[in-house]
Structure 1
Amino acid sequence: MKNVLIINGHQKYEEIAEGKLTQTFINKAQSFFENNNFEVKHSIVESDYNIKEELEKFKWADYILFQYPVYWMGVPWLTKKYMDEMFSGGNKTVTFINDGRSRSDSSKKYGSGGLMTDKKYMLSLTYNCPSSEFSNKDGFFDGLSLDEANIAVHKTFQFCGAKPLETYAIHDIFKTDLDINSELKKFEDILIKNFL
């Protein structure tokens, strides 16, 4: 049986970001994993989490599904705090041993000291911006792809040795004609591709 940790990276803002959409995707993922014989644990960044207990979940997990809204082109600040506490807190035990370099061996490169080499992760993002802004040289992100625009999170996992799975993102979340059922189907298709 494979183990998956679902991290709820939502941070609530009254009347703007209540967390319902994030929870909708987490619920869908929970059902998918249960139906496919995965063991599931959850972490919630907007909670009174215990760093030691969270790191045990990281150690236990084969996969990490990181579900969060993109605020101001990055993770919510509570999510960044959680990341800093987990990835730094796991130094020499769960996340990384060092930055990878060695004074005696110049072939060892920066970013190669991760301890999470047996783990894979998936980002699942909620965005207000339209998908047309990515991979578009005239778009807001100056031609960057979705993953390139989220490079800081990817590089954090890479530094610790984890391998990426295909990213999912829902766009234009404040549109009144948002077809959530269609989006959940796209999400499930990527879950199937990534985990089965």
Structure 2
Amino acid sequence: MQKILVINGGKQFAHSGGQLNEEITSWDKSFFSADKGFEIQITQPHLEDYDAATEVEKFVWADIIIYHFPIWWMYMPNSLKKYIDEVFTAGHRKGLYYSDGRKAANPERNYGTGGMLQGRKYLTTTTWNAPKTAFTLDEEFFKGRSVDDGVLFPFHRMNAFCGLEPLPSLHFHDVEKNGSPELVAKFKAEYESHLKTIFKF
């Protein structure tokens, strides 16, 4: 059985209801079924109390971690950031990372190589009000820089610090201004196709 940990980082706040990330998480429940050879656990930091040590055990247990979250003010919601701060800190020498990787003999080199999750991978989806063209056109807001090489660069390095390897990300755009049931259906088809490509279905 391939072990999947899903972290739903959506949250109800202001004009955001968190519903799209809940729906994406529901797609995981359908896709990662036992009859396909998967075992799944789901954590929703915004909805439930969690024990940091138990969450560390879930990361160590998982073969693949899947993060879903909206982008608010150019980063993840505060509830997800709090979760990561607490869980990753609790994971020091408990299975997530041993040290920052440097040795006293050469302290200028090898920072970020002390992770303990080598062999595990992670997949990220994000939801945006921004349209895709905000990233692909040089004259638009993000100056032609992609989501992964721009806003999510520190997020990816955070996972690398623990030894995790990235799977291809998927980003859903224009979800607020032009959101509709038809757009969500399109997202679902894109996500299922993305998963089938990665997991060879």
Matches within 5 A, 1:1-196: 1-14=1-14, 16-34=15-33, 36-46=36-46, 47-105=48-106, 109-149=110-150, 150-174=152-176, 175-177=178-180, 178-196=182-200
Alpha-carbon distance in structure 1 between the residues aligned to 2:107 and 2:84: 29
Give the superposition deviation at 1:176.
4.4
Give the superposition deviation at 1:135.
3.2
Alpha-carbon distance in structure 2 between the residues aligned to 1:79 and 1:102: 32
Identity of aligned residues (%): 32
Which residues of structure 1 form unaligned runs of 5+?
none
Q: Secondary structure at the match of 1:147?
A: coil
Counterpart of 1:156, as a letter, is: M
Deviates more, 1:45-54 or 1:100-109: 100-109
Alpha-carbon distance in structure 2 between the residues aligned to 1:147 and 1:172: 17
Residues 135 and 146 of structure 1 are in contact (CA less than 8 Å); yes or no, is this contact kept in structure 2? no
Counterpart of 2:188, as a letter, is: L
Counterpart of 1:78, as a letter, is: S
Q: How many residues align?
A: 195
Give the superposition deviation at 1:184.
0.6
Alpha-carbon distance in structure 1 between the residues aligned to 2:99 and 2:136: 34
Residues 4 and 61 of structure 1 are in contact (CA less than 8 Å); yes or no, is this contact kept in structure 2? yes
Counterpart of 1:154, as a letter, is: H
In angstroms, what is the RMSD of aligned CA positions? 1.6
Alpha-carbon distance in structure 2 between the residues aligned to 1:180 and 1:24: 9
Alpha-carbon distance in structure 1 between the residues aligned to 2:119 and 2:13: 36
Give the superposition deviation at 1:107.
8.7
Change (3 A) 1:141 1:187: same
Residues 4 and 39 of structure 1 are in contact (CA less than 8 Å); yes or no, is this contact kept in structure 2? yes
